[in-house]
Amino acid sequence: MNYQTIIEEVSKEIKLTKDEGVVASYIDELKKINPEKFGVHLVTTNNAHFFYGDSNEKFSLQSIAKVFSFAYAYRIFGEKIWSRVGVEPSGTSFNSLLQLEHDAGIPRNPFINAGAIVICDILVSHLKDPKNELLDFVKGLSDCKDIDYCDKTALSEKQTGYRNAALINLMKAFGNIENDIELVLDFYFDLCSIKMSCKELSETFLFFANQGKHPRTDAEILTLSQAKRINAIMQTCGFYDEAGEFSYKVGLPGKSGVGGGIVALHPNKYSIAVWSPRLNKKGNSYRGIQFLELFTTKTEMSIF
């Protein structure tokens, strides 16, 4: 498969079309991004790399980072984690208070805001230094030491995070938050502020495509069963209210973030990251979705 040729063909093709998305405006730091940025990086399980455009420029992961915190918590606590969070698609907004009220403070899945906040609470309860320990875990996945939180982005989110404050207070009222609210929210906002390039992101996600094993050392990061389950949740819950359409159009598990990034993977084959800051009405990268749909069409490869 000539991935490089296909990546270049698809990238050039979609750049000829109008980008109808809009950059996220509710987080000040995200408004400053050049909306014309576009990057792609694909890495295979045998460590072959293919890329295009701004693939080495770092961007804010936002909700993509929730997969890392969940994987870390799942690795440590195993099946006990499901007493605090579910595995179902939300069917409503990623920050819905109505759904949380209806479900007695148990978030539908770990990738909506409430679910990721619960995962942060679990890590705060059981780790001595949650921020640094999580960051060390993420760095180890890609062997890249130049990965960090972004203080400016985290502060920007804290200044406008009223909805998240409402979510955590509601869960606290239902008994599903154990720690101090401000401590957990601080960790959550830092989590979402992690910055990576497409290259770093594709490398960091590659173990999900490699049966839970580090692709270069073969060390077990997650069991095969755990990796399979996280891939399944990415397939059904990874794209806000567009997960079904993404499965239909693209046919790969993955995760998006309002920073304009999307990462997807083909089990046993590759991990691919795309970055284009303008978002569609569902909060996913407009050109990122376009790219991945055309890419899987031209390669004739999906999990279905």
Consecutive 10-residue averages of pLDDT for the chain (304 residues):
96 94 90 95 97 98 98 96 94 82 95 97 97 96 90 92 95 98 97 97 97 94 97 96 95 98 98 98 96 97 91
Into how many domains does the chain fold?
A: 2
Q: Per the structure block, which two tokens stand in for 141?
A: 């996945």
- Answer yes or no: is 75 within a domain: yes
For residue 28, the model assigns a pLDDT of 87
198 and 140 within one domain: no
153 and 253 within one domain: no
The CATH number for 42's domain is 3.40.710.10
For residue 91, the model assigns a pLDDT of 75
Q: Specify the length of the chain in residues.
A: 304
- Answer yes or no: is 304 within a domain: no
180 and 74 within one domain: yes
58 and 157 within one domain: no
92 and 9 within one domain: no
Q: Where does a domain end: 159, 192, 225?
A: 192
Range of the domain at 127: 63-192
- Answer yes or no: is 20 within a domain: yes
Q: Report the distance separating Cα 80 and Cα 221, nearest Å.
A: 18
77 and 28 within one domain: no
Q: Where does a domain end: 192, 214, 242?
A: 192
For residue 292, the model assigns a pLDDT of 98
Q: How many CB atoms lie within 10 A of CB 32?
A: 10
Q: Going by C-beta distance under 8 Å and a sequence separation of 6 or more, which residues neighbour residue 258?
A: 24, 27, 30, 62, 63, 279, 283
53 and 109 within one domain: no
- Answer yes or no: is 263 within a domain: yes
The separation between the first and the last C-alpha atoms of the chain, rounded to the nearest angstrom, is 18
Q: Report the distance separating Cα 38 and Cα 234, nearest Å.
A: 23
53 and 200 within one domain: yes
121 and 74 within one domain: yes
Whether this prediction's pTM lies above 0.85 is answered by yes
